[in-house]
Chains A and B, each alone.
Chain A
Amino acid sequence: MGIRERLSGNEASATAMKQINPDVVAAFPITPSTEIPQYFSTFVSNGTVDTEFVAVESEHSAMSACIGAEAAGARAMTATSANGLSLMWEMIYIASSLRLPIVMSLVNRAVSGPLNIHNDHSDAMGVRDSGWIQLFSENNQEAYDNLIMAHRIAENKDVLLPLMVCQDGFITSHSIENIELIEDEKVKEFVGKYKPEHYLLNDKEPMAIGPLDLQAYLFEHKKQQAEAMRNAKKVILDVAKDFEKMTGRKYGFFEEYKLDDAEIAIVCMNSTAGTTKYTIDKLREKGIKAGLLKVRVYRPFPAEEIAESLKHLKAVAVLDKADSLNAIGGALYEDVVSGLYQAKATVPTVNYVYGIGGRDTKSDDIEKVFNDLAQIAKEGKVENPYRYLGVRGDK
């Protein structure tokens, strides 16, 4: 039986980190993730954890220090948002290419510019193909649970990739919700000890990491990264099974909400899924067969599985909380559509870019999407698939 608590998303994430008790945390404050290193520093100052906290002078150094620590043989964690992740960008790719299972809590916020501190997914989307596993979280419970599962996935010998757990800035990071925590001892046992095969601090086997890697080998090394990302799919599900045994909470690549018998559905990530579920319940009362597919695992992208779940629908709307500025559509939309195409599923699919810079997305907005979907389902086609939701000046 877990421990019932009331915590904000940031508190929940810091609590997970406390229970994981990593060897090193290196972080730099940035809204809205600042509270995570703040709470964590208190754990360090009070001796609640064994961690060395490196109060670095920038996010670039935060990721550099995490890379150094993880390569040294330690478990290293960090937290950031938006521009912090942008500043880490160079090191993000280096972390994954060196196959270091660093775990990051990413509290999603709009990337500048202009400056904005509120939630969208432009930070996570910017590094979606950097070789990091990306898990998204609808609420505080999921942010916590995903972090508890993170090391088991990232450190698996068939994976060895860094992992980021995403949650919505302010919307979940600063909202206090009921949460069920797992007992410290159970977390310790579940997460297990980190036993790297090779590490810098092993004086019996000195190692060199981070070479100049030229035409003769780089291609093979990148392909191995790609294979590790494919391997991660099975590992994510295996870890979720063990997690379910411990907590009774079930996780997969995505969550289906009233999708089985649905005719129209929304695909989205993070907190908007909550608003969508609420709207679906209202529509169901009116006899509208609406459903939801909430993506939890965005990288590796479970394209086949998503296509399988969506292929029976009459119309699908993919909600992107980041615009791709590419004249085609949002990233999640493109991924879903290419999955459907590969599966030869011809479901009319429409894209809505929404919630940019923290613009509120209300149940009315979601209802509007379902109304549009009902129309698309009736006509069986989509005229203009790249749309906006809740923006002024939209025709």
Chain B
Amino acid sequence: MSVFTLPQAAKEEVLLKELSALTEHHRENCEPYARILAASGYQPASSVAGLPWLPVRLFKNLELKSIPDDEVYKVLTSSGTTGAEVSKIYLDKAAAAEQTRKLGATVQSVLGPKRLPMILVDTKAMLKDRKSFSARGAGVLGMSNFGRNHVWALDNEGHVDVEALKGFLEQYGDEPFLIFGFTYLVWLHLYEVARDNGLDLSNGILIHSGGWKKLIDQAVSPEEFRARLSGVGLTKVHNYYGMIEQIGTIFLEGPTGGSLYCPDFADVVIRDPETWEEQPVGKPGLIEVISTLPTSYPGHVLLTEDQGVVHGVDDGDWPGKRFSVLGRLPRAEARGCSDTYREAA
């Protein structure tokens, strides 16, 4: 079972219909959203790239939801990079259940239906306060559903628990097992330790996320990350890109590496940061993320502050667009557009 099945043309036909309906739904049920659309001269779209987008940081400035207060089931928050501003994402029961289901289907596209023994490259200590997990904690917990017999690679002080890893590999290392962690933690605490202790990770399937900034600071590129991991036997590696403002939607790296792919219910458009026109294949720009999952808040078409580039369409491991994330846009440059929206709202 895979959610990476639709060629681009077929996908856009489905998405245009569903997302146009979602746009109408949010317009009718979220007043600030309706005002923003009116102020920006909204016309029904004739293509996926023509759908009206919101800058993602708007969720830090405004309360945007399309459900009545008494149907709010969960409010997700993210601190973002500065820590000062917090995005607020409102889910009703239906949206919460659907995002869990769709994330499950996406990850099972590479893992299959069985839960695998699992190494969590993190520390249990960050889950101490059960009332308020960090985004990191929430990510780890969300992924833990895909595993069994979990072992934490780091102890409560954040040091690598080599004995725990050895014990895990002795017991489960001969069959497929799952490894999950944030990219820089995997690099610092799994790769180096595996190399230095001769741990055999060749049956591992690694799923990792969390941005490359800290690694690029250490001069480690995505290509080198992959090459070095294969040096400790870890060849099944899937990076992913996703954000709390589109919870449940992740863009997953294909088996051969180097590109992220969009599940059938999602897509990306790369935009010129000055003209907002769609960039052609190979030309970097701002990443717009599109998903049918946000039904309880108007987050179905979001312009991120990340730069990316589409490498090709229908020419990779899976159908559709394949792309890379290149990094964050310097803060000052992104400010213009959201200020416009703030005034309009």
**Bound pair (A, B):** no
Residues of A within 8 A of B (CB): none
